[in-house]
Amino acid sequence: MTAPTPPTAELHLHIEGTIEAELLVRLADRHGLPLPSRDPAVLRERYEHFTDLQSFLDVHYANLAVLRTEEDFHELATGYLDHARRTGIRRAEVFFDPQTHVNHGVPIEAVIRGLSSAFEAAEETHGVSAAMILCFLRDLGPEAAEELLRAALPFREHFIGVGLDSTEVGYPPSLFTEVYAMAAAEGLHRVAHAGEEGGPDYVVEALDLLHVERVDHGIRALEDPALVARLREERIPLTVCPLSNVFLRAVDAIADHPLPLMLDEGLVVTVNSDDPAYFGGYVDANYTALGLDRDRLALLARNSFDACFVPEADRARWRAEVDAWV
């Protein structure tokens, strides 16, 4: 019998969102920093009570003060790769948020070197192909995003693209048109969170103004039939995160999640974990929670490989693994 969930790519994962409560406590002890509790169970209990994206981000950003050194970032990435290996991930394209850490006084070089030293060795150490996507925190605004991109360009070989995350409503994609053009001129891939809490107009702006190649979340695109038709025709992948949507109350319950409907609409949907330390599990838990049959799980997994920023030969090799899994 093969594994209960298919081999897959993970295309929507914030590395900072993999900080398990045990690591949080270990790093806080290492650096002599305060936490609301030293008990991982008590820390985790707080995660059950998010009411929306912002209520999560407030807890999340406060926790990240424990990440101080290159070694801390390396340990964080290695912890994720241990999970990735166990959960059938063949390829991970991982978001990181340098602005959070730079604002805590950590040099950008420590962030990038700590993470990239783990991810660039991941094929050998964990049998996982991994790459990094530099994200702009949209609530810090477009000038800060441009400053970040300029600061990161000396490390250009360590990331493959740019993304846009953090507080969505009130910070539409249009604000970031110029920094995305700068990124495109550097040959970087482009993705953006849109349609998680923001409306379908955010998705349209991400496509038209930022020229994104994938949309992160995108569930509210369903509210606009013309947009759904466009996403289907242009085969724009949507990196959907079912458990995240339940924990952050974008949907009421997993049984109400629109992902099956999105598949019915012929959209290129993928399954991802977003911030697995907070939202009840890793990518395998997200696949399982949906309660879909193996054919549909395989379709989702094939979609995930089709949506990777890798040569076609790699996609074909991984798709064949999915065919063997069914």
Query: Which residues bind to ligand ADE, rule: CB under 6 A?
Result: 14, 17, 53, 165-166, 193, 196, 244, 274-275
The verdict on whether 75 is a catalytic residue reads no
The residue whose Cβ lies closest to Zn ion is 274
Residue 16 interacts with Zn ion (CB under 5 A)? no
Q: Which is nearer to ligand ADE, 94 or 231 (CB)?
A: 94
In this structure, what are the phi and psi dihedrals at residue 190, rounded to the nearest 5 degrees? -135, 125
Q: Which of Zn ion, ligand ADE, none interacts with 53 (beta carbon under 5 to 8 A by kind)?
A: ligand ADE
Burial, 224: exposed, middle or buried (Cβ in 10 Å; 0-12, 13-18, 19+)?
A: middle
The answer for residues whose C-beta is within 8 angstroms of residue 293's C-beta and 6 or more apart is none
Tokens of 45: 């209990």
Q: Which is nearer to ligand ADE, 6 or 17 (CB)?
A: 17
139 is in an annotated binding site: no
The letter for the amino acid at 97 is D
Q: Which is nearer to ligand ADE, 136 or 318 (CB)?
A: 136
**Closest CA relative to residue 286, chosen from 267, 299, 270:** 270
User: Cα(148)–Cα(306) distance, rounded to whole angstroms?
Assistant: 30
Least Å distance, CB 318 to ligand ADE, is: 25
Least Å distance, CB 165 to ligand ADE, is: 4
For residue 277, is it left (φ>0), alpha (ψ between -120 and 50) or beta?
alpha
User: Which helix (H) or strand (E) element contains residue 5?
Assistant: none
Tokens of 86: 């166990």
Q: What size, in residues, is the chain?
A: 326
Single out the catalytic residue among 93, 168, 196, 205: 196
211 is in an annotated binding site: no
Least Å distance, CB 115 to ligand ADE, is: 15
Question: What residue has token string 């992902």?
Answer: 259
Tokens of 67: 């990440």
49 is in an annotated binding site: no
Q: Which is nearer to ligand ADE, 78 or 100 (CB)?
A: 100
193 is in an annotated binding site: yes
274 is in an annotated binding site: yes
Binders of Zn ion in range 240-299 (CB under 5 A): 274
Least Å distance, CB 57 to ligand ADE, is: 6
Residue 72 interacts with Zn ion (CB under 5 A)? no
Q: Which of ligand ADE, Zn ion, none interacts with 88 (beta carbon under 5 to 8 A by kind)?
A: none
Q: Which is nearer to ligand ADE, 75 or 165 (CB)?
A: 165
Least Å distance, CB 85 to ligand ADE, is: 23
One-letter-per-residue 3-state SS of 59-95 = HHHHHHHHCCCHHHHHHHHHHHHHHHHHCCEEEEEEE
Least Å distance, CB 169 to ligand ADE, is: 11
User: Which helix (H) or strand (E) element contains residue 273?
Assistant: none
User: Which helix (H) or strand (E) element contains residue 269?
Assistant: strand 269-271
Q: Which is nearer to ligand ADE, 15 or 207 (CB)?
A: 15
Would you say 194 and 216 are in contact if contact means Cβ atoms under 8 Å apart? Answer: yes
Binding site for Zn ion (CB under 5 A): 274
Enumerate the active-site residues: 196
Q: Can you say which residues are annotated as belonging to the binding site for substrate? A: 275
Q: Can you say which residues are annotated as belonging to the binding site for Zn(2+)? A: 12, 14, 193, 274
